[in-house]
Chain A
């Protein structure tokens, strides 16, 4: 809500998508795939930019359109990525796509993380499951501008090792000296020798300091709820905590009516909100 990013899309009709093509499909987990996509029209690519946390509408014309976080680095705009969990009709059609298949895209939409305001501060990222997708874009942005920020912590959890996304990224993150990365799974298993524990529990064990820090959390609603409680116990105040929300959306431009929290629309006023902002809105999660 803090950063309005209108960059990157000059369109006279915000409901009209641009044709695009799937470049590559990366299977992440049994039910999550990352699609690398590019616009067909070079002029659209030329004008396109996005900021971390912004969302897009990805459609398979004929099956329909759904809203997803852009999960790739904002520094790369010729090819960018959506990470999609198979859940309904449209996401099932998306999971059928292969390289070379046509899609249509409206992006970017919504507001980004206020990364400019966070310069000079420590950043703590707390992600669960597919909730890593928007935080991955944010993490790329922070790493691309590493000198602008203090300590960088990532806690990323999933139910099982097979449910953790972004395997090649995780290899990189694990070896970076400038990132404190913990991957965790819910329950111990034979193929995992890493951290075991629910994300909020691990967060409290790692106990990042709230001093000059910002925490960002995204994941299943139940994880977000407990992560927010853990952050509060660690001493993070509500204006130091950010999340990015999901809702059923259609238009992506604040008029079709279904994604509102009180007078605010997740698609345009969000999806990024500070906890301070959320606490001022009606509780209708």
Chain B
């Protein structure tokens, strides 16, 4: 395997930053240890340990994304409207207005350095909805262009905290899906493995450089990986969960502490539900925006009539669990959870999704005391 010292990471990012925006985890000043992905500039410190408070999903699904700009200008744009309007006795307004919609804007290429395998795998999970590799499904232009311009360099986990549970799924602390390069932490540096052609090119380019090689050959052995908490039987949830859907009492009991704050969805690397809304910039132009939304909010499904098909936290949590472990696997072939643990670390009510999963599995199998 190839090897890079910790000191040379700065040189590597320097080289990558000459061609793309580089984003890396950094401990925020005065945050009490919160790590976030931040735009990296030469000399910035990097947090090699720990997991970021929020995931990396906004690299491909920004918290708020401009879908397009639009503007109203004088004059009608529709000759048919004028003709038909006049014949119908409804002439176009005196000061006709014409609507135009701006073309799409290019997005910046980015390198995401130091992401964890759970967050990289989450990109692969999102790809199956927004950007299917075989082109058979829906392709989201905004997502696709951001994803195509994103290089993902993952650091495998040799330690974890009690909220981590990635080993419950096919992925684990060194999962390759979603990554271009995997860095394995060893003494003084990282062993490096290329996962994709894009990753290989980073290694090959260094080899071709005449001086200052970043990567060297190493005979070091890969490190022992973290062993996380584990929920058994997650793959069975796709077929088991529908059996207990109608038991609202169960969902009320097992999610009673939920206060519908929505942190679990904002922190989640795979939650992708969104809202679409318009904002005007003055009287004549505006933007249509796509923003993160949260299925835990009451208003998310509330209709204009006042009717709400998911009126209580239990209804909403039930949908969230079913979406992650039953509907998405059925529709997209992947579990919509990578075990990153953020919804557990960040829940202000102490609700642990692993306990709900375990209780649901036991209840569905008819073994539970619930």
Give the interface of A toward B (CB within 8 A): 12-25, 36, 38, 40, 59, 61-65, 78-79, 87-88, 91, 98-104, 221, 246-248, 250-251, 253-258, 260, 262-263, 282-285
Contact = CB atoms under 8 A, between A and B. Distances in A.
Contacts of A262: 242, 245, 322, 327
Given A101-B93, A257-B323, A38 B275 contact: no
A40 B78 contact: yes
B273 interface: yes
B293 interface: yes
Contacts of B76: 21, 100
A263 B88 contact: no
A282 B245 contact: yes
B26 interface: no
Contacts of A22: 81
Interface residues of B, number: 62
Nearest to B70: A61
B293 A257 contact: yes
Given A248-B301, A258-B300, A260-B323, A100 B273 contact: no
Given A40-B77, A63-B278, A282-B245, 18 more contacts: A13-B104, A18-B101, A19-B77, A19-B101, A21-B76, A21-B80, A36-B84, A61-B101, A100-B93, A100-B96, A247-B309, A248-B304, A257-B274, A258-B293, A258-B295, A262-B242, A262-B322, A263-B331
B85 A100 contact: yes
B159 to A, nearest CB: 34
Contact of B84 (A79, A247, A283): A79
Nearest to B86: A99
Interface in B68-85: 68, 70, 72, 76-78, 80-82, 84-85
A61 B278 contact: yes
B141 to A, nearest CB: 5
16 contacts: A15-B290, A16-B104, A18-B101, A19-B99, A21-B78, A61-B70, A61-B286, A91-B304, A100-B82, A248-B302, A257-B323, A263-B330, A282-B242, A282-B246, A284-B310, A284-B315
B201 interface: no
Contact of A255 (B80, B91, B140): B140
Nearest to A262: B327
A19 B97 CA distance: 12
Contact of B275 (A14, A256, A284): A256
Nearest to A98: B93
B293 to A, nearest CB: 7
Contact of B138 (A12, A98, A253, A283): A253
B42 interface: no
Interface in B88-104: 88, 90-93, 96-101, 104
